[in-house]
Each structure stands twice: as structure tokens, then as C-alpha cells.
């Protein structure tokens, strides 16, 4: 017997579908999909959340000095002229960063094998290209999701049946983080 559902797809298509759905579940907290897909996504998501819970406190903080460009009231960099060239002016700031210990780094890389990179794009048309930003899903797993579920021993997701889909009567469900 197979340990997983084939979902009527080739292995590469199935892997891409499941990766995408797990990524959207972590990003949005809930997805609507078919029952068979939801059961497969649930397996993967539960393992990732358990991994995040195990490694959530496994880091050390260090203070580093960082050069940050000065900005004017409009948010543009301040430039000053040196030897006939315009040069950006920098300030030195002390910043506290989290440094992963080896086991947490390994867990982060295991998560990155499953999760896709997500870029958030603003809804308003003005500044769509400039204001895009990458979402750190591994960071979200360690900082938001893991502390929320730290006291639970499993059962981080819930499947709620919605009803049959209109086109082919496949059972539709909502898969959400509890």
C-alpha cells in the first residue's frame, strides 16, 4: 500500500501542488481545497510546525554595528559631495540580531525545502514595484506559530467540511491552523 495519495498527478506536479498549498496555509492561516489534498497538506504542515516548536528557542543574540544610510524627510538617501563625486552619507547603528545554532539552522533549511519564497505586493497601483517585500516564512514559523502551539502535543491543523464542489461534486474542506 502507498503511504500517500497520488492525487491524479505526476510526482513533480504533486510535489509542487503540496508545497504551494503548505506555503499558503502557513502564510494565510487557512486554505480551501479538496478533502484528499487537505489530508496530504495536513501531514506536511504538522511536521513543519512540530519542527519549529522543537527549535524555537535555539538561537543566540549578538550585537553588531551596521552602517545605515541617512535619509531625508522624503525617505531618499542623503548625498554629499566628496572630491567631485556624490557619496551617500552613512550612520553607524548598533543592531541586535538572532544567530541560529546548528540544529535550528538545519531545521530552517528543512523548512525551506518545502516552503516556497513569497513576495508581498501592495494592492494600490502606486509604488507596486518599489514596495514589494519578501516574507520570511521560516521566521514566521519560529517567531509566531511555534510559540502559539508550544503547549500542544499535535493537532495544529483542523479540517472543516464545506460541501461538494459544484463542477465535479468533490468534497471541499477548509484546512486551517487551530
pLDDT given at position 83: 85
pLDDT confidence bin for 45, thresholds 50/70/90: very high
Residue 54 CB contacts under 8 Å (≥ 6 apart), including other chains: 107
- Percent of the chain at pLDDT exceeding 70: 98
Give the chain's radius of gyration (CA, Å). 22
Average pLDDT, the chain: 93
Q: What are the residue ranges of CATH 3.90.1030.10 in the chain? A: 11-58+102-177
Closest CA to 18 of 47, 49, 39, 3: 39
Residue 35 CA, chain-centre distance (Å), reads 23
Is 136 a residue whose pLDDT tops 80?
A: yes
pLDDT confidence bin for 76, thresholds 50/70/90: confident
What CATH number is given for 11-58+102-177 in this structure?
A: 3.90.1030.10
- For residues 80-99, give the mean pLDDT: 90
CB atoms within 10 A of CB 74: 5
For the stretch 9-33, pLDDT in tens is 999 999 999 999 999 999 999 999 9
Q: Which cell numbers hold the place of 144?
A: 509566531
The 3-state DSSP composition of the chain as helix, strand, coil percent (nearest 5) reads: 35, 35, 30
pLDDT given at position 123: 80
pLDDT given at position 1: 58
Is 141 a residue whose pLDDT tops 90?
A: yes
Amino acid at each position: 500500500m502507498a503511504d500517500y495519495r497520488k492525487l491524479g498527478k505526476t510526482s513533480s506536479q504533486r510535489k509542487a501542488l503540496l508545497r504551494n498549498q503548505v506555503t499558503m496555509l502557513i502564510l494565510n492561516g487557512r486554505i480551501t481545497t479538496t478533502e484528499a489534498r487537505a489530508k496530504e497538506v495536513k501531514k506536511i504542515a504538522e511536521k513543519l510546525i512540530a519542527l519549529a516548536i522543537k527549535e524555537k528557542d535555539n538561537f543566540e543574540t549578538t550585537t553588531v554595528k551596521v552602517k545605515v544610510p541617512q535619509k531625508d524627510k522624503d525617505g531618499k538617501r542623503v548625498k554629499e559631495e566628496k572630491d567631485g563625486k556624490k557619496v551617500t552619507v552613512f550612520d553607524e547603528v548598533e543592531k541586535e540580531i538572532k544567530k541560529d545554532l546548528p540544529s535550528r539552522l538545519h531545521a530552517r533549511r528543512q523548512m525551506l525545502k518545502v516552503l516556497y519564497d513569497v513576495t508581498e505586493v501592495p494592492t494600490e497601483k502606486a509604488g507596486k514595484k518599489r514596495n514589494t517585500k519578501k516574507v520570511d516564512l521560516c521566521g514566521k514559523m519560529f517567531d509566531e506559530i511555534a510559540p502559539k502551539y508550544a503547549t500542544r502535543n499535535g493537532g495544529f491543523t483542523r479540517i472543516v467540511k464545506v460541501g461538494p464542489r459544484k463542477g465535479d461534486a468533490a468534497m471541499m474542506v477548509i484546512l486551517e491552523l487551530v
